[in-house]
Amino acid sequence: MDVYVRAGDDDPQFIDQWDDGFGWFAHPDEEGARAGHAVRGDDGVWLVDPLDAPGLDDRITDLGEVVGVVVLSSYHARDAGVLAERHGVAVHLPAWMDRVSDRVDAPVERFTGSFGDPPFRVRRFEPLSMWREAVAFRESDGTLVVPDLLGTGPGYAVGDERVGVVLSHRLWPPRRLAGLDPARILFGHGEGVFDGASAALTDALDGARRRFPRALARHFRTNVRLMAAATRE
């Protein structure tokens, strides 16, 4: 199984569906379980960390008109430029995020603090020197988007966890997210959590350190593969 599939026309698997959005795996069989999302606001549809896939535009059109593509991790350039060009919009990046602009062939617009209407307010994280991440929360409907620090894909959760903290940061989990009360959590890797999302977030943050030995034993090799492959994103 490939960690990340870089080419091909796989049939996408649609996930995380609710009235104002949906997610998809462009390559359902890849180990890394990269997920993109389309989220509707009052201003239109935002594509978040997207990957291209056959039939995707039809699903997006059913949701509304695309007003922007946003990238929330320095390693999630993915197909942002391709989709932005096709829909005639810009790629939106946090003002402080590097790396992505060199990897997208589309106009780039920078934002500070928030994007969209109603706003997704972003929290800045710099887990490593080359890894910058924006966690986005839309308070109006409780939608939380976490690109890499949390997930449900391979290499994240252990035991009864419904959400896992990435192995490299289980000893230093992103506790600035602890005050949020999300109705749903969307991830850059894996399917989202919709039922009991707030409790799942609390459990992930509170139990990250305690479960670190188990996660290390179970997920070390997977995380090495995922991180090595991510450097090509």
Token duo for residue 44: 């239109």
pLDDT confidence bin for 222, thresholds 50/70/90? confident
pLDDT confidence bin for 215, thresholds 50/70/90? very high
Q: What is the pLDDT of residue 10?
A: 81
Q: Is 152 part of a structural domain of the chain?
A: yes
Distance CA 226, CA 105 (A): 25
Residues 200 and 151 sit within 8 Å (Cβ to Cβ): no
How many domains, in total, are found in the chain? 1
pLDDT confidence bin for 158, thresholds 50/70/90? very high
Is the whole-model pTM more than 0.75? yes
Q: Is 47 part of a structural domain of the chain?
A: yes
Q: Please give the average per-residue pLDDT across 7-35, as a whole number.
A: 93
Distance CA 233, CA 216 (A): 24
Q: What is the pLDDT of residue 100?
A: 94
pLDDT confidence bin for 233, thresholds 50/70/90? low
Residue 186, helix vs strand vs coil? strand
Q: What is the pLDDT of residue 129?
A: 67
Identify which has the larger pLDDT, 231 or 113: 113
Angle at 164 between CA 135 and CA 101, to 5 degrees: 35
Q: Is 148 part of a structural domain of the chain?
A: yes
Task: Please count the CA atoms within 13 angstroms of the CA of 196 that sit on its side-chain side.
Answer: 8
Percent of the chain residues past pLDDT 70, beyond the cut? 97
* pLDDT mean across residues, the chain: 94
Is 90 exceeded by the pLDDT of residue 145? yes
Each residue's pLDDT tens digit, 132-142:
999 999 999 99
Q: Is 2 part of a structural domain of the chain?
A: no
Full residue range of the structural domain in which residue 73 is found: 13-230
Phi, psi angles (nearest 5°) of residue 44: 135, -160
CATH number at residue 38: 3.60.15.10
Residues 112 and 95 sit within 8 Å (Cβ to Cβ): yes
